[in-house]
Structures are given as structure tokens and as C-alpha cells.
């Protein structure tokens, strides 16, 4: 039986693979003179963030204030970028306390957000660094034009308590030339208005090996690269052997010759499809489709399922980051050896 | 501002609505002489399970041993059915300890599962009640034919430590006549073999108002009925006013006149679609589509979005049960009044 000491369903991370993934992309960033600022949403583990920093990362990226709080609690992390519009006195007050402990940068894409941040940082020992978030084509947050980026940069520079620090984008996949041109134009406009653009933060694991095609960027945020997953394998960005995160599940029922049911459902694998068919890849069994999930059941089909009740399978999920968020604990392994069970410190930190 | 004391994103449950939902279906079950055994997966809160029992429920349904452990910890719940094939010494040992504290029934759909249970319950003060899980057409777990149900019932009856207690099915939606005929045939076969079939457990919120069309069943398991959700509204089973669970979110960005971004993404709303378009219903704004989710961003579109940064929205998610599982805490409200923040005791209990 695989990992007999680990109860199922469980999320496993192979540290050997994760460390190799960390080092591989760090080398690429080093070679291109690009700062690497890993997004911790994928692992949510301070120990892996510290490993990323030891390899050469310039700091970490978080999405929420509460994630940053959880990540820095144990020390060893002193540079944090929160790539999220932070609103409301509760959150901006916590942000101010956070800024007393680490070098902190946040983003804003509207004057409303910038003013809220400024209000909380009046009289702070250090002004809060703020990047203007730019929508370079992905259609999520961000100012819509380079001119709007300049206008918001000027607004931030005028507001007390804040320091305009540069630009940030979550870019569309595969459109590096357009992203470069957008960011370069914004930078030129802002510099022409008399402000320095010290940081330009680009990101996204799918485009990480094309990061150098956006030379305007000074740093790159990637999250999933540390674990990889089925969505990245499908894009040709990794092989199954590069997938550090797997779900260990037990076959609980084999109702027919073509169907088996496992004890990992949407409460572990999640319903994220990311454009794929099915909910994961059963290692060693490419013929099996994970067709359907209930909360606690995964339904597997194959022409001949060939599994027995009690047998274990190991699954590469579609999307590693969301799987990490489902369970309070994660099993750290190296090859076939179970190293330790670790609490997922920043799990469920949406605030 | 709606609920100014509650941080966003948060999951809200209106207790007035939940209690009305509990009482409405309890009345139906009472009128049809059907035992109601609510599935706690929807709320994961012992206090609401006790409210369901106070209204007349005969006990609760859990999916996993760890859910049952969490639900009974505070007392007040003394009858538990776990509708899951339980495998492995760790889980069956915990099951035996659980059986010393409550009236416990589980299911099995194979001799392998039954033998594992029997092994753990050798010498137990009371034999463990086991229902044979039947696949009446839903294509998940379960024996495939009434004859196979009889054979497994006989096997369970032969094994020491176990007591054959009856049948259980998670039925296909809208096929009550077929389910009735399947269960009746199995019952007849098993009785002809000399065993009593004391319990027949049917379930599923989508078919709950047709529960009486399966008269072979002695009890009914429903989960989502306590909260309702967008999937049930789409089936015509409830109105928006009957939806007890909502997600409170803040607009963090309004990049264009047709788009807004909220601070609830897949880490709160989940990617469950249940056959629907979009990820939820914004109360009071049927024109808005929640088109896309990232982990921390929800992307809203409308012909004119008409929302401001900092504004709050309330969303009925597609699937209430999975939303309950995302956050460690839930906000209990009555109308516009915030009653209390409660820990979601059985969250993430997949073991």
C-alpha cells in the first residue's frame, strides 16, 4: 500500500520535486535579471516561502492581509507584496500594523482604494508603497489605459502616507508583446510626469518561461510553479514527474467493471476545471477519467477499471492552489518516505 | 452599508429562514409518516443539527467518521447514520468508539467493506447496524441489483459484530417509480431469505417533495433544504427569500461600466456549477452575471454594472453545502441583525 501511515483522502507534497521546481525557475529569473516574488497562495506554508527566499526570491506575494499575517508570524520573511485592492478600516488598520514588521507594498486601481490606504497610513513611520494595478488585457482588476495609470500614480504621490512604487499587472496569457507595450507606455508617461517607476511586477505561472519577453518588468510573481498541476501539464509546462502535489485517495467502491468510487470528492479535488475534461489525472492510469465529483465521492471510469476496494490511487489535480486550500493539514513526503504532517498555516485566509 | 460589523467576504446564514425551512420539510415528513434524518454536510453546525432534532428529526446523517465526531462532541445528538463505505483500521477503530456514544448505523456495498467493519466490531457491546447501499440509478456507489443487495445482506447477517439493518440509496433525480420498484424488490428478496428490513433510507433535496412517492422508504435524508441555494431555485424548489445562506462581498474594483470585481472568488463561492451558468445570484440584481472566479476575485458583468468601489453585495451561491466548507467561521443573522459568529465545527472533515 502507498504511504500506509497516511489516512485518506490526503494532500501530499513531495519536497524533492517542489525544491527542484523552486530552483529551476529561480535560475531562469537570475539569468534574466528578474526578481522572483513567489505567490504563496499555492502552498500557504511559511517553511516553503522561506525555502523560496533562501533560493533567491526577493520576497513573497500574498493576495489578502490575513494571508500575509499568517505567513510572517514565524519570522524569516521580511518583504511582502499584497496584490489586492484593500478596502475598509479593519483591513487597512491591520495593514498598518503589518507594515511595522515587514517591507510592505500593496496595489490600487482606483482613487477610492488609494484614499482608504492613505487614511490609515497618515503619520506612519514609513509611507506605504503602492503599485498601480494595470489591466493589460486579462479583464480582471486594473486601470484601463496607460494614461489612467499615470493619473492614479500622480494621485497616490499626492496623498500623504503613501509612496508611489510602480506598476503591477496580472497579464493575459500568451500576449507578452502587448503587455510589454502597455507597461512601457505607462512607465514613459509616469516618468514624463516626474515620478520614478521603481517596480514593475508581472506574473502568472502559465507565462513564466516567457517572462523575459516583458523586459519592462522588474519582478515576476508565480505561484503554481512550485507544485505544478494537471492544467500546467496540459499546457506542456511540466511532466507528471514535476508535479509535487498529489491527492492520495482510497477506492471505496467498485460497483461495475468500468466504474470505481474514491474517497476524494470536491472537498479535496475541488470543482476547478480550468478548461479541462475531468477532475484530475490518476498517476499510472491515463485511461481513467475522473468524470464526476460529489463532495466526498470521486467517480472514475475506464474501459476496464481494474481497481479493488481498499486500493489507493494518487491523483494530480487540475489546480494545485485550490486543493491546498481545502484541508487544514498537508503531508510532506520525499519520494516514498513520509516526512511530516504540517498545518496549512494560511488556509482559508480570505480576509 | 449591509452588516457593517461583518468583514467581507463572509458566509451569512439567516436563522429565521433556516428554521422555517427546517419546519416546513419536517411537517411534510410528519404528514407522510416518514422519518427525517437531515444530512449535516450542508451546515456542519451541531447547534443547527440539534434544532433539526428538536423539530422532530430522528437523527442525523454524516458522510465521514470525522464529521460525526465533530457533530456529537457537544452532546444532544444520539442517533447517527454515516452513509459512506468506511475502510481501514484507523477509521473503523474510531467508528467503534463512536458506537459507544451514539446509536450508530453505517452502510456497505461490498463484502470487503462489511468484513472490515465486522473485524473492528468483534466483541462490541452492541453490533454495528449496517445498511446495504443500493445503486438505484444514480451511478455512484451501491450494489447493482436487488439480488446483489440480498446476497450482501445475508453476508452482513453472517458476520459477527454486525447487524443487517436495511437498505440505503442516493437516488437518481425524478425517477421515484424506478427507485420504489428497485427497493421493494430488494426488500421482498431479503425478507424471503429470512431477514427483517427495518430501515430503508432514501434521500436528496432535489426530490424531497416527492419522497412519499417511494413508499418503501422509512426515512429520508436531505441536506441542502435547510439553506437552499441557486441550484434549488433554478429547479423551482424555493424562492430567493427561502435562501438562508448568502455570501457577503465587497466591490473592490469597477474597471469599466460593464464590469465589477468583488472580494469573493472560488475560495468562498467555489467553482461548483451544478449545470448552471455563472457562479451565483446577486440579490436584487438579476441582470448581473458572475462570469468568472479566481481564488479571491469574482468577476461581475452587466449591461450597466452600476456598482461603486466599497459597496457590498449579497450573493446566493450555486451550491450551499460546498460554500459552508470553505471558511472556518460563519455569521449567523436574523434579518438585518447580526446574531453571532460561529465556528463551522465539521468543516474540512473528510476523514
DSSP state of A39: B
Cα A256 from Cα A117, distance rounded (Å): 59
Q: Identify the sign of the CA torsion B316, B322, B327, B330.
A: positive
Count of domains forming chain B: 2
Is B287 a member of any domain?
yes
Q: What is the pLDDT of residues B275-312, one digit of tens each?
A: 999 999 999 999 999 999 999 999 999 999 999 999 99
* pLDDT attached to residue B344: 98
* pLDDT attached to residue A276: 97
- Shortest distance between the Cα of B234 and any Cα of chain A, in A, equals 19
Question: What would the grid cell of residue A114 be?
Answer: 488609494
Question: What would the grid cell of residue B243 be?
Answer: 435562501
Judgement on whether residues A221 and A245 belong to the same structural domain of the protein: no
With beta carbons less than 8 A apart as the criterion, state whether B169 and B135 touch.
yes
Is A26 a member of any domain?
no
Q: Which of A226, A257, A274 is the last residue of a domain?
A: A226
Task: Identify the domain containing residue B265 by its residue range.
Answer: 230-343
Where chain A has pLDDT below 70, the residues are none
Question: Which of B267, B331, B343 is best to mutate for the A interface (most A CBs within 10 A)?
Answer: B267
- Shortest distance between the Cα of B244 and any Cα of chain A, in A, equals 20
Is B116 a member of any domain?
yes
Residues of B whose CB is below 8 A from A321: 295
Judgement on whether residues A220 and A294 belong to the same structural domain of the protein: no
- Which helix H or strand E contains A27, and what residues bound it? helix A15-31
Residues of A whose CB is below 8 A from B110: 253-254, 309
* pLDDT attached to residue A188: 98
Cβ distance A143 to B328 less than 8 Å, yes or no, reads no
* pLDDT attached to residue A122: 96
Pairing of strands B259-262, B280-282: unpaired
Judgement on whether residues B318 and B280 belong to the same structural domain of the protein: yes
Cα B67 from Cα B299, distance rounded (Å): 33
Judgement on whether residues A206 and A57 belong to the same structural domain of the protein: yes
Is A201 a member of any domain?
yes
Enumerate residues 143 to 162 of chain A having a beta carbon within 8 A of any beta carbon in chain B: 143-144
Residues of A whose CB is below 8 A from B291: none
Enumerate residues 10 to 39 of chain A having a beta carbon within 8 A of any beta carbon in chain B: none
Judgement on whether residues A186 and A153 belong to the same structural domain of the protein: yes
Question: What would the grid cell of residue B26 be?
Answer: 419536517
* pLDDT attached to residue A22: 98
Cβ distance B255 to A135 less than 8 Å, yes or no, reads yes
Q: Which of B226, B246, B271 is the last residue of a domain?
A: B226
Is A153 a member of any domain?
yes
Enumerate residues 176 to 215 of chain B having a beta carbon within 8 A of any beta carbon in chain A: none
Residues of A whose CB is below 8 A from B325: 267, 295, 326
Residues of A whose CB is below 8 A from B64: 296
* pLDDT attached to residue B29: 98
Q: Which chain A residue has the Cα nearest residue B142?
A: A255
Judgement on whether residues B137 and B255 belong to the same structural domain of the protein: no
Is A7 a member of any domain?
no
* pLDDT attached to residue A37: 98
Q: Which chain B residue has the Cα nearest residue A272?
A: B271
Q: How far is CA B326 from CA A16, A135, A327, B42, in A?
A: 29, 29, 10, 12
Judgement on whether residues A127 and A234 belong to the same structural domain of the protein: no
Judgement on whether residues B239 and B128 belong to the same structural domain of the protein: no
B68 Cβ contact partners less than 8 Å away, ≥ 6 residues apart:
B62, B80, B82, B98, B102, B104
Among A259, A271, A350, beta carbon nearest to B327: A350
Q: Which of A226, A250, A268 is the last residue of a domain?
A: A226
Is B16 a member of any domain?
no
Q: Bridge partners of B220?
A: B36, B202
With beta carbons less than 8 A apart as the criterion, state whether B117 and B128 touch.
yes
Pairing of strands B10-14, B280-282: unpaired
A250 near B CB under 8 A: yes
Cβ distance B261 to A140 less than 8 Å, yes or no, reads yes
Judgement on whether residues A180 and A65 belong to the same structural domain of the protein: yes
Cα A223 from Cα A228, distance rounded (Å): 9
Cβ distance B87 to A250 less than 8 Å, yes or no, reads yes
What CATH number does the domain containing A168 carry? 3.20.20.10
- Shortest distance between the Cα of B239 and any Cα of chain A, in A, equals 24
Judgement on whether residues A272 and A310 belong to the same structural domain of the protein: yes
Is B19 a member of any domain?
no
Judgement on whether residues A328 and A213 belong to the same structural domain of the protein: no
Pairing of strands A312-317, A280-282: antiparallel
Among A112, A309, A321, beta carbon nearest to B110: A309
Where chain B has pLDDT below 70, the residues are none
* pLDDT attached to residue B209: 97
Residue B44's closest CA among B58, B27, B24, B64?
B64
Pairing of strands B199-203, B162-169: parallel
Cα A117 from Cα A127, distance rounded (Å): 10
What CATH number does the domain containing A326 carry? 2.40.37.20
- Shortest distance between the Cα of B185 and any Cα of chain A, in A, equals 19
* pLDDT attached to residue B1: 82
Judgement on whether residues A154 and A235 belong to the same structural domain of the protein: no
* pLDDT attached to residue A1: 82
Amino acid at each position: 500500500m502507498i504511504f500506509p501511515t497516511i489516512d485518506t483522502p490526503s494532500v501530499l507534497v513531495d519536497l524533492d520535486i517542489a525544491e527542484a521546481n523552486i530552483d529551476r525557475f529561480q535560475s531562469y529569473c537570475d539569468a534574466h535579471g528578474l526578481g522572483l516574488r513567489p505567490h504563496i497562495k499555492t502552498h500557504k506554508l511559511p517553511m516553503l516561502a522561506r525555502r523560496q527566499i533562501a533560493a533567491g526570491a526577493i520576497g513573497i506575494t500574498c493576495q489578502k492581509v490575513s494571508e500575509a499575517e499568517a505567513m510572517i508570524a514565524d519570522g524569516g520573511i521580511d518583504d511582502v507584496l499584497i496584490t489586492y485592492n484593500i478596502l475598509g478600516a479593519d483591513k487597512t488598520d491591520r495593514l498598518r500594523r503589518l507594515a511595522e514588521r515587514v517591507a510592505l507594498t500593496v496595489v490600487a486601481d482606483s482613487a477610492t482604494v488609494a484614499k482608504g490606504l492613505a487614511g490609515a497610513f497618515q503619520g506612519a513611520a514609513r509611507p506605504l508603497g503602492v503599485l498601480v494595478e494595470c489591466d493589460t488585457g486579462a479583464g480582471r482588476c486594473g486601470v484601463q489605459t496607460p494614461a489612467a495609470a499615470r493619473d492614479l500614480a500622480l494621485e497616490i504621490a499626492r496623498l500623504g502616507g503613501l509612496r508611489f512604487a510602480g506598476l503591477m499587472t496580472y497579464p493575459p496569457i500568451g500576449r507578452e508583446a502587448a503587455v510589454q507595450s502597455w507597461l512601457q507606455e505607462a512607465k514613459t508617461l509616469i516618468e514624463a510626469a516626474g515620478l520614478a517607476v521603481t517596480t514593475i511586477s508581472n506574473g502568472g505561472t502559465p507565462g513564466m518561461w516567457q517572462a523575459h519577453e516583458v523586459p519592462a518588468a522588474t519582478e515576476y510573481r508565480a505561484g503554481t510553479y512550485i507544485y505544478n498541476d494537471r492544467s500546467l501539464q496540459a499546457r506542456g509546462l511540466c511532466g507528471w514527474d514535476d508535479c509535487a502535489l498529489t491527492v492520495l485517495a482510497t477506492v471505496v467502491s467498485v460497483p461495475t467493471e468500468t466504474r470505481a468510487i474514491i474517497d476524494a470528492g470536491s472537498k479535496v479535488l475541488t470543482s476547478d476545471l480550468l478548461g479541462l475534461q475531468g477532475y484530475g489525472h490518476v498517476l499510472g492510469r491515463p485511461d481513467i477519467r475522473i468524470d464526476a465529483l460529489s463532495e466526498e465521492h470521486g467517480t472514475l471510469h475506464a474501459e476496464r477499471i481494474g481497481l479493488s476496494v481498499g486500493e489507493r490511487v494518487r491523483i494530480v489535480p487540475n489546480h494545485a492552489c485550490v486543493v491546498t486550500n481545502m484541508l487544514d493539514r498537508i503531508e510532506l513526503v520525499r519520494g516514498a518516505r513520509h516526512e511530516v504532517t504540517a498545518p496549512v498555516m494560511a488556509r482559508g485566509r480570505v480576509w
